[in-house]
Every structure is written in C-alpha cells, then in structure tokens.
Amino acid sequence: MPLDCPRQTMKIAIGFRESKVTNLPLQALYYFYHAAELGSFKAAADLLNVTAGAMSQQIRLLEDRLDTQLFERQHRKVVLTAAGQRLLPYARQGFSQLREGLNQIGHDPDPTSLTLSTLSSFGQQWLVPRLGELKRIVPDLSIALMPTEKLVNFNRDPVDLCIRFGEGTYEGLKSEFIMHDYLYPVCHPLFLQQRSITCIEDLCQCDLLEDTQPDMSWDSWLAQAGMNMTLDKSSVQYAGVHFVVEGALAVQGVALVRHSVAWRYVQQGTLIKLFDTEVRSRYSYYLCAPASHFKRRKVQAFARWLHETADEFVASTPFLSGVQ
C-alpha cells in the first residue's frame, strides 16, 4: 500500500542551489519518486489513486521550484534527466526512512508481555482473582499490572492499556465499554448481630463507612435510590473503596461499596448485603488506549477475554438485571 503523503514541505540538497530547494512540496517529491520508479506518470497516478493531470501538475510544480527539468516526456513513458537521476536515490532513501519511522510508531516492542494500568481497587479485588483464566487461554502472554489512581500518559509511560472508571471520554484515546458498576450497603455478619438493622432508617444508629469520591457518598446513594431522606449519621471516610471494604471486614460499621469490589466477599459470606437498594454508579469501567494499541494482537486477546469475563460477571448477579 503506498505511503499516504500529506501536503507538507521538506528540505533536500543534492547539488541544486539552496534557494531552489528550500521548502519543497513533499507531495510533489512523493509523486516524483513514484513516477521515477515506474517510468510512467499514468502508472504512478494509478498507484496513488489520483488523476494523471494531478500527477503532471505536481511534477511540474517541483520542476518549477527547482528551475530544472526532471523528466523527458516521451510517447507513453517518461525518462529521467540527469538532474532527475541525481534526485531519485535521495528521494528513495528519504521515503524509505520515513516509512520505517512510521512503522516504528505502531510497532509492538514486546508482543508477549502486556502492561496494564488499572485502579488499585479494581485490580486487586476483581481483576487479579480472574487472571488465572486468562493465563489458561493465552499461556504465552504475561501481564504486568500497574495499580494507580492517576491517568496514564501513553506518550511517556510504557503502558499498553489502561482500565479507567469514568464516563469513557478521554482525549486522544479510544475507549471500549467494559461494564457498569453498582452501589449498595454491606456489613460484617458480626456487626449485623450486634445491631438491629431491618430498614434504612436503622442506619442512623450505625457507624457508616464511605469513599471520599462524590458519587460514593451515602447522600448520593439515597438520592439515586429515590429516597427523600438524609441519614443522621456518624461516618468515616476512606480515600478508596477498597479501604471502605477493609473497614467493613474489620467490623467498623456499614459500608457503601461498589459491586465489582465487594461481591466476592458477599459470595463468601464475609460481608452481608443489606436491603434491595442497588443503584447504578454514574461512572462505568472502560478499556482505554491509543487507537493504534488496539491493533496489537496481545491487546486484542486481552480485550476479548476481558469483555467476555465482564459479561459473565454481570450475568452472575441476577438482582442487577432491573437496575437502571
């Protein structure tokens, strides 16, 4: 496939006076290169999917800039002049190096190792327990996790992909939706034995644990659940939902948690889900990276597994099917 050459300029020096070779049109040089290699304006025009008139116009523009004839026009073919013969090897070398540079941009430096940036809570509680299945499906792929709450700079950080919890709009990146998340209260079985909690109003008598994120507050959860009330509560805030879960496991109180982070503890019985008041978080999980990264085979394999695993996880909790 021919190199898609933009309308830009470049400098080249092959024996012409400097005043003639400054700011030469790159597109015209590219057309010259193909016409010289093929010995035909028409064949070069067909290759580049342009008209023969456009090809002739660009070549003439280049000749006018150089004030030098590069081709002798003959019947059904063109022949390089001495000046054209001097220019061709430089054009060939220049475009070859440019093509190699462009290929390096999309090159995968390590096709058997995938570096993934993800939220600490999601990585620890949801992703890591499931990576064994990925290893069984793709045994030659190794995963390097980078748990962080910070956004990745793909121009600086050696990262293939990142998983983010947000609205899915990240400038300069392609985003693929993974799954929604849901919020509900949980507590340790011992805490439930110590307190009589039969309705939401009973939470006013409990120590409440919440994340510092605004969408994870008890007031926000009540409003989304359609309850016109506030809790006269004594609350403890942690910077991170995984700390909130740890607080609940330590029998510190009732915690407002994300389903993705807390569900395995609910399944094990080490945490008790309270009430039927699940609400969908205003944010969701997304797989994000520059569009070129999604062309890498290892990224495609991981993304395919992640989407299937997320779908299975959501399907395994039927009580979420009606949550909007």
In the chain, the number of structural domains is 2
Dump pLDDT digits (tens) for 183-208.
Answer: 999 999 999 998 888 888 888 888 99
1 within a domain of the structure (yes/no): no
N-term to C-term CA, the chain:
47
Phi, psi of 212 (to 5 degrees): -75, -15
Dump pLDDT digits (tens) for 234-251.
Answer: 678 898 888 999 999 999
2 within a domain of the structure (yes/no): no
311 within a domain of the structure (yes/no): yes
pLDDT at 10 over 70: no
Percent of the chain with pLDDT over 90: 54
Q: State residue 103's pLDDT score.
A: 58
CA–centroid distance for 135 within its chain: 22
Domain boundary among 84, 105, 126: 105
Q: Which residues of 62-75 are buried (b: 16+ CB within 10 A; e: fewer)?
A: bbebbebebbeeee
Give me the CATH number covering residue 53.
1.10.10.10
Q: Are 190 and 316 part of one and the same domain?
A: yes
321 within a domain of the structure (yes/no): yes
Q: State residue 311's pLDDT score.
A: 94
320 within a domain of the structure (yes/no): yes
182 within a domain of the structure (yes/no): yes
Q: State residue 74's pLDDT score.
A: 85
The residue-averaged pLDDT of 137-145 equals 91
User: Band of the pLDDT at 17, cuts 50, 70, 90?
Assistant: very low
pLDDT at 177 over 90: yes
Dump pLDDT digits (tens) for 22-33.
Answer: 566 888 999 999
Q: Are 120 and 235 part of one and the same domain?
A: yes
Q: 183 with 281: CB under 8 angstroms?
A: yes
- The chain-wide mean pLDDT, for the chain, equals 86
Dump pLDDT digits (tens) for 79-129.
Answer: 999 999 999 999 999 888 887 666 556 567 788 899 999 999 999 999 999
Instruction: State the alpha helices, DSSP H only, in 171-278.
Output: 189-194, 218-224, 241-249, 259-268
Q: Are 147 and 79 part of one and the same domain?
A: no
Largest Cα separation within the chain, whole Å, is: 99
Dump pLDDT digits (tens) for 115-129.
Answer: 999 999 999 999 999
Q: Looking at beta carbons, which pairs linking 59-62 to residues 24 or more positions away fall under 8 Å?
A: 59/28, 59/31, 59/32, 59/35, 61/25, 61/28, 62/24, 62/25, 62/28, 62/29, 62/31, 62/32
228 or 284, which is more confident: 284
pLDDT at 2 over 80: no
156 within a domain of the structure (yes/no): yes
Dump pLDDT digits (tens) for 37-60.
Answer: 999 999 999 988 899 899 999 999
pLDDT at 16 over 70: no
Model confidence pTM above 0.75: no
206 within a domain of the structure (yes/no): yes
